[in-house]
Structures are given as C-alpha cells and as structure tokens.
Amino acid sequence: MELWNFILNRWTVLIIGILIMLVGLLPEWTLYIVRMIGKMGWAEQRVGTGGTFTVWKLIGILAPILAIIYFFSPGIHFDSPSATPTPTYYQNYR
C-alpha cells in the first residue's frame, strides 16, 4: 500500500509527467524509446508514416498538462478501499 501512496504522490506525478514530456519532445529520447519498445501498429495505420512519433509528441504535450492539473487540484484523492468507511445508510436498511 505504501508503494501506491508514493506513486500517486503529487510530486511524484509531477516528476513523471516532466520525464514523459522530455521523452515525447526530445527527438533523441523519443527515438531511443521507440527502439526499445517498438512502433505502435495502430498509430502507423491511423496516423500514417511516423505515427508512432506523432503519438509520442502528443503524449509529451498532454502528460505534463495532466500532471500539473493533478498537482494543483485539491479534490483528487486516491485512498485504499479498506480505508473507506462503510456508509451509514447501508446499516439502516438491515
């Protein structure tokens, strides 16, 4: 459970978003990741030649935006299901 608290920490999400931005927007890093992972077949078919790189560019633009929104939004909380109390209205109908 501690791993999820670390991964969903606001600072961790912001740093991961910035790293994904670097992977998506720096051509050398994008080429390295595409060579490691491989091309996305659906992106090559739907977007055309170079579709994998275009998708990585889009991910590189969207990831830091979503990370910043998550970082500054106070309403998003991820709690474990065991930490959530049982609502009282279920207890009234027993």
**Per-residue pLDDT at 10:** 82
Domain boundaries, the chain: 2-74
Of 40, 22, 23, 41, residue with least CA distance to 32: 23
* Tokens describing residue 51: 């579709």
Q: What is the DSSP letter of 9?
A: S
Kindly give the confidence (pLDDT) of every residue in the chain, 94 residues in length, as a single tens digit, with 9 standing for 90 and above.
587 777 778 888 889 999 989 888 888 988 998 899 988 889 889 988 888 899 999 999 999 998 888 888 876 665 555 555 555 555 555 5
**Per-residue pLDDT at 6:** 73
**Per-residue pLDDT at 79:** 59
pTM: 0.64
